[in-house]
Amino acid sequence: MSEAAQKCPSLVTAWRVTYILTGCQEGATKVIQESIDELLQHPGVHDRHRLEMLFYSILRRRCLRFPARCELTGPLAELHALAEPDRSAQVLLELNALDAEEILHLLNVTKLPPAAPENPALADALAHLLPTPEEDKQLIEAAEAVAGRHANKKFSIRNPASIAVGIGFLLMVAVLTWNFLGKAGTFPDEAIKVATQGNSAGAEQFDPVTEKTGGLQDWFILKGFDNFRLPPGFDRFDAVGVRMFRYEGEAVAQAAAVNGDDTMFFYSFPSQKLGIDVVPEKSWRITEADRMVLAIREEDDVCFMVAFPGKKKDMEEFLRRTAK
């Protein structure tokens, strides 16, 4: 076993998960790098377990986006060829990356695939999915450099495993840096993409309704979505349409409501599964995008977002009048 695998097993495991899900070295490199970049946008997550779940959520989402390709062979290729979400579940289980309950939550499923029979060939292939001795040396140097134990050292990220080993230390440094720079209030990019997709929907894509927004939860429950949550003060608007759509495979609830002479949209969707984290909970973040102004908050791993035409000052005034 390599020295890096002995010292940082959980971080090397993340690299292995990525390698198998993407099916190739190029995919693993790209996904690990992009996942770290995205994770650095969530500096307020201090809880280690939540941080790990958020990282794997981002990692898996980006793995599934990567164009289908497989350079794996033997049992690893067979594992890569499984259909989702069974493939992700099986990979995470085989590598002991997360426990069963965490995998159920991550994949948003009610049960895991049947336990696979013991496969010595697969176990052997996984055991040998390790960096070369030269790469292993880079792993240790990378971890030490990022941790600041050798401030005068620089390290190369020529392979995805080098990045993986440094993840834990990178996160710690990133949290401190972002907090001191005051950037914890960044509006999540994924939430902007959700709003961009939802705001472009035509009237014919909505089911018409004539009731207050506070009475919409039953409609969404009947559609299989149990987490349509309105913050205090947002239940008194006149709703005119409702619909469900999917973003990156996750269900998003959308309601259209009257806001003066304009139409505004309410959104409710899972935060962790989309790699979104708004801290502290119940606090608002505001941004402008495509002539719309957006505001988002998070509570109990569910995001609520409101969007309407306007500027930041319009949203600030709206929240001042509405939010309780």
Which of 47, 59, 56, 130 shows the shortest CA–CA distance to 99?
56
Residue 66 sits in the same domain as residue 126: yes
Q: What is the pLDDT of residues 1-60, one digit of tens each?
A: 455 445 555 667 888 898 999 998 888 878 877 777 676 665 555 556 777 888 888 889
Distance between CA atoms of residues 268 and 283, nearest Å:
15
Number of structural domains, the chain?
A: 2
Q: Enumerate the β-bridge partners of residue 252.
A: 245
Calculate the CA dihedral of residues 164, 167, 170, 174 and round it to 10 degrees. Answer: 130
Q: Over pLDDT 70: what percentage of the chain?
A: 76
Tell me what percent of the chain is helix, strand and coil, each rounded to the nearest 5.
50, 15, 35
Please say which residue of 153, 181, 209 terminates a domain: 181
pLDDT average, residue stretch 54-81: 90
Distance between CA atoms of residues 305 and 324, nearest Å:
15
pLDDT of residue 251: 93
Which of 114, 19, 121 shows the shortest CA–CA distance to 75?
121
Please say which residue of 181, 203, 225 terminates a domain: 181
Residue 249 sits in the same domain as residue 213: yes
Residue 301 sits in the same domain as residue 263: yes
Asked if 304 contacts 268 with a C-beta cutoff of 8 angstroms, the reply is: yes
pLDDT average, residue stretch 65-87: 91
Task: Say if pTM beats, i.e. exceeds, 0.85.
Answer: no
Q: What is the pLDDT of residues 128-179, one digit of tens each?
A: 887 555 545 554 554 443 333 333 433 344 444 444 444 554 454 444 444 4
Residue 34 sits in the same domain as residue 161: yes
Residue 169 sits in the same domain as residue 138: yes
Record the tokens describing residue 205, joined without a space: 């894509």
User: What CATH number did the domain enclosing 254 receive?
Assistant: 3.30.200.100
Residue 157 sits in the same domain as residue 226: no
- The band of 203, judged by pLDDT with boundaries at 50, 70 and 90, is confident
pLDDT of residue 46: 53
Q: What is the pLDDT of residues 253-302, one digit of tens each?
A: 999 999 888 889 999 999 988 888 887 888 999 999 888 999 999 998 89
pLDDT of residue 108: 78
Average predicted confidence (pLDDT) for the chain: 79
Residue 214 sits in the same domain as residue 291: yes
pLDDT of residue 273: 85
Q: Enumerate the β-bridge partners of residue 223.
A: none
The residue range of the domain holding 159 is: 3-181
Record the tokens describing residue 310, joined without a space: 């306007």
- The band of 304, judged by pLDDT with boundaries at 50, 70 and 90, is very high
Residue 96 sits in the same domain as residue 227: no
Residue 128 sits in the same domain as residue 237: no
Please say which residue of 138, 161, 181 terminates a domain: 181
Residue 249 sits in the same domain as residue 111: no
